[in-house]
Amino acid sequence: MHRRTFAALISALLLGSALTACGSDDDGGGTTGDNSGVTLTMLMGVNNIYPEQQRAWFTEVSSKFQKETGATVRFETFASANDELTKIQTSVVAGQGPDVYALGTTFTPTAYATGAFVELQQDDWDKVGGRDRFLPATLGISGPDEQHQVGIPFASRPFVMAYNKDLLTAAGIDKPADSWDGLRDQAKQLTKDGKYGLAIGYADGFDPWKFIWAMTTQAGSPLVKDGKATLDSPNTKLAYQSYLGWLATDKVVDPAAVGWKNAQAIAAFGEGKAAFLPMVSASSKVTLDKSAVAGKYAYAVMPTIPPGATALPAGGVPATSILSGDNVVVAKYSKHKDLALALVKQLTSEESQTSYYKTFGELPTNQAAAKALGSDPALAAIVDSAGKSVNTPFTGAWGQVQLALTNVVVQSIPDLSAGKVDDGKLTGLLGQAQSTAQGALDKAK
């Protein structure tokens, strides 16, 4: 599967420049004049936590856009990171598809590498309301530098950890640990009476690799550096052993979590069945504030001391989160570039961003909307994490690297279901992941 995916990506990279040359400069639609009958297509990730609200939001956005421009918007969705990459590849190779994409920030380098998306000039930034309307930090992964940006910040999603204050107090724990080993030990102490220490979505299509990235970055062992992958390093293996071991050997995770996605993990925590919920964003707040733990939980930054250590080692980076969120990009093949930019302007306005936060809990990238939330004490840890977030490498191969990392977890599910981590198999899977990642990096040069 991954070999086919990688081959398709290379095809996309090779065809990117050709598509640029073949693309029409004819906008075929602007923000003025008669746009009736014009339909823009926007691709974004399906929201498994708030599916009904997302469908209602699609209708709301299209209706508002039609009133402003005469054109409507049709939304398409992807369900996993693998699906996300495939959608990019298919559209780029075919030279047709969605006009606008909302991509996870870590896929922006891959989108940039294809050369198939609009590199934003000053005039383009002006049409979306200006670069100054965005929080500066959210522009950190829009492109390799300020002069070569394709990604327009749409949502900010720094990761934190939710914890049940009542359970920790009852156990005599005054605060969450700042090391992963300490968190494991606290989780063991809290696993009793039908409750578990940790709620983890092992089958989630987006997040498992982020645990491994965080732990190895903190260990001073970056997964990619200077074009070289180190997915088979001892620190990477230790990260997987820790992450998988929470369920298999430490027994601090509900065995059912082997099939959970994030929505199920959030639900379990919301029912009071787990003490900690790592790797969540403010998007969980909407659900948790309506759950059994409303008023009984808080957010904290995740541990920044890697497994096997009691202090940050030399060279370690105390990363609390990837620089996470969504960027929107506009396809060069779109016949409606100005309309696409008008849609982006609508989606990133203060009004729209505030409404989006209230519905989905996604933090605004709009400066004015973000400033209005600054006084909410419940968001203090999330704001703290945003300031301590670290970029993933800006390479077109990163999409393949993160899929290779996730695939190790996917291939470990059978053993995890049996309550074990097979050391030999894990070594083999890391070797395969290393080969895939290095191959992608070599082809991306």
Q: Do 180 and 314 share a domain, yes or no?
A: yes
- Is residue 274 domain-shared with residue 412, that is, in the same domain? yes
Task: Let me know whether 91 and 240 are in one domain.
Answer: no
The secondary structure of 169-215 as a DSSP string is HHTT--S--SBHHHHHHHHHHH-BTTBEEE---TT-SSSHHHHHHHH
Residue 314 lies in a domain: yes
Percent of residues, the chain, with pLDDT higher than 70:
92
Q: Is residue 3 part of a domain?
A: no
Q: Indicate the residue among 370, 388, 406 that finishes a domain.
A: 388
Q: Please tell me whether residues 151 and 257 are part of one structural domain.
A: no
Q: What mean pLDDT, rounded, does the chain reach? A: 90
Query: Residue 445: which pLDDT band, with cuts at 50, 70 and 90?
Result: low
Convert the pLDDT of each residue in 377-416 to its tens digit.
888 898 889 888 898 888 989 989 999 999 999 999 999 9
Query: Quick one: 225 and 108 in the same domain?
Result: no
Evaluated on CA atoms 275, 276, 277, 280, the torsion sign reads: positive
Look up the CATH number of the domain holding residue 93: 3.40.190.10
Residues 398 and 111: beta-carbon distance below 8 Å: no
Q: Are residues 130 and 198 in the same domain?
A: no
Residue 22 covered by a domain: no
| Confidence at residue 125, expressed as pLDDT on a 0 to 100 scale | 97
Residues 293 and 369 in one domain: no
Instruction: Note whether residue 171 is domain-resident.
Output: yes
C-alpha dist (Å) from residue 39 to 44, 73, 217, 428? 16, 5, 43, 48
User: Is the overall model pTM greater than 0.95, yes or no?
Assistant: no
Give the count of beta carbons closer than 10 Å to the beta carbon of residue 70: 17
On whether both 294 and 433 belong to a single domain, the answer is: yes
On whether both 356 and 243 belong to a single domain, the answer is no
Q: Are residues 246 and 266 in the same domain?
A: yes
* Number of domains the chain is built from: 2
Residue 366 counted as domain residue? yes
pLDDT at site 24: 35
Residue 12 lies in a domain: no
Give residue 48's domain range.
Answer: 39-157+324-388
Shared-domain flag, residues 140 and 197: no
